Amino acid sequence: MEATEDDNEEIDVVKIMERIRENIRRRKESGASAGCEVMDQTLVDGSSGEIEKDLGYINSNWDIQNNSYYISSHRPVMGKAMVRGRELVHGEVRRYVDPMVFKQNEFNGSTVRILNEAVRRFDEIASKLDVLENMLGQLRGEIEEKIGQARTEIGEEIDERLRGEIEEKIGQARTELGEDIDERLRGEIEEKIGQARTEIGEDIDERLRGEIEEKIGQARIELGEEIDERLRSVVAAMNEDIENKAWLASILERRKDSYDLPASTPAVVDGMNYFVFEERFRGPRKDVKLKQLAFVDYFEGCKHVLDIGCGRGEFLELLGDDGIGARGIDVDENMIDYCISRGLDVENVDAVEYLENIEDKSIDGIFLDQVVEHLEPGYLIKLLDLCYRKLKYGYYIIMETVNPLSFVSFANFYIDMTHKKPVHPSTLKFLLESAGFREIETKFFSPLNDEARLRKIDMEGGMEEGQRRQIEIYNQNIDMLNNILYGAQDYAMIGKK
């Protein structure tokens, strides 16, 4: 800033000082007012960007000290005197102004430092708030998951409790309503079965079925869906029993105990109805099918499985249910007639004779259930040789028979008079290997219940080591005896060509 005056004008220091004071006063008034207006406007319309800009501005301009001011004159004669006079005036003014500027600078510096620290702390708080918000989000997710689990557990518990109450009510309803009506219906069904046994024939059988269905309708009205389902199951079983017994009685009536069986048949006793024998000693068809289910997977995808000694056709029905093509053969005419009545593909023919008359490698599976114990050794060896020749490569033969390694099974072996002799698992495995079969495995079935086996001694706490050792030896001996006396009643030998 340069100060100059005209050379002819006289210097009036007093006027200059008054003018300077007036200018300072005006500047203060103008600056304070403008600052207030700017501040008010910033407070009203300010944004984060504007605030950052203002913060940068005050950090750069908080020092208001003017050190760039200098005094000079272009007048060659009076210039030095004028500069000296102005310097005196300037010095006098600064003596009043500098303390105020110094204090203002100190105030500005403190304000700027406080603002900077406040901004830094606000940034820290904002970062912590972001972290807290993330933690709250995670906690909110975990809490919602826990609430969902609690709802599921509470729902299951309530469902289980309601299920128990419903079952209890159903039990009470069965007790209160079922016994009397079941007893009355049972009496009527037994009476109808007695009539079927006496009169035997399709006409009576149809009439009985109609009357039973009528009783089912009455039961539906009186008892409801729960008891209706139970009665339907009972009546279905009774219907099957009626059909079986009606069919059997018609055969007995027609043949009058006269059987013209082939003399060469290896598994039939003259004058003995093997169908009735199996019904009593082998068990119901549904139990036999349940045991035979374990063998169905070996014939998956096959189209020409041969069931030798098909009996009542249980395994043929299982294969048919899985879409597996199968044919059964048996030497018992009663069995064949029964299978035909159930729509099964069967033939009354001797196994060796049948196999000798079919092409080699023409069947893709062979099954013999409770057959080999009926055969003479020479017949069995010839049969296995034919089975190997007629079976396609890569397919299975399965032979299930009585387990002679179990004493209880061996003791019951000769209940069946058609049994020749039990076949030891090692013997049957050797015969299969000799015929050419490979990958042979043995599986044991039909274990006895624990109630029918010898019991072991339970270990108790506080026993001495000697007593404990004696009990362990005793229990080991019991296990050995149970395997010998009460082992699995049947076994299956499985071979692959």
Over the stretch 10-54, which tens digit does the pLDDT of each residue have? 445 566 667 666 766 676 666 544 444 444 444 444 556 666 777
Residue 239: the pLDDT is 60
Identity of residue 130:
D
The predicted model gives 109-119 an average pLDDT of 82
Over the stretch 258-306, which tens digit does the pLDDT of each residue have? 434 333 344 454 545 544 545 554 567 888 899 999 999 999 999 999 9
Cβ neighbourhood burial of 137 (10 Å; 0-12, 13-18, 19+)? exposed
- Give residue 388's Cα distance to chain centre: 43
Q: Which of the two residues, 443 and 134, has the higher pLDDT score? A: 443
Q: Which of the two residues, 413 and 363, has the higher pLDDT score? A: 363
In the structure, what pLDDT confidence band is assigned to residue 153 with cuts at 50, 70 and 90? confident
Identity of residue 118:
A
- Is the distance from CB of 425 to CB of 433 less than 8 angstroms? no
25 CB neighbour count, 10 Å cutoff: 10
Give strand pairing partners of 365: 305
Res. 354: pLDDT tops 90: yes
In the structure, what pLDDT confidence band is assigned to residue 247 with cuts at 50, 70 and 90? low
Q: 């220091």: which residue's tokens?
A: 13
Cβ neighbourhood burial of 4 (10 Å; 0-12, 13-18, 19+)? middle
Segments making up each domain of the chain, as ranges: 13-136, 158-255, 274-450+488-496
Over the stretch 184-197, which tens digit does the pLDDT of each residue have? 666 776 776 667 66
Report the C-alpha gap between 274 and 271 in whole angstroms. Answer: 9
Give strand pairing partners of 445: 490
In the structure, what pLDDT confidence band is assigned to residue 318 with cuts at 50, 70 and 90? very high
Q: Which of 175-179, 276-280, 288-292, 462-466 has the highest mean pLDDT?
A: 288-292
DSSP label of 293: G
- Give residue 363's Cα distance to chain centre: 39
Least trusted range by pLDDT, from 231-235, 303-307, 397-401, 492-496: 231-235
SS3 326: strand
Res. 334: pLDDT tops 90: no
- Tell me the two tokens of residue 25: 């006063």
Report the C-alpha gap between 469 and 475 in whole angstroms. Answer: 10
- Give residue 292's Cα distance to chain centre: 27
pTM above 0.75, yes or no: no
- For the domain spanning 274-450+488-496, the CATH number is 3.40.50.150
Residue 263: the pLDDT is 36
Residue 432: the pLDDT is 96
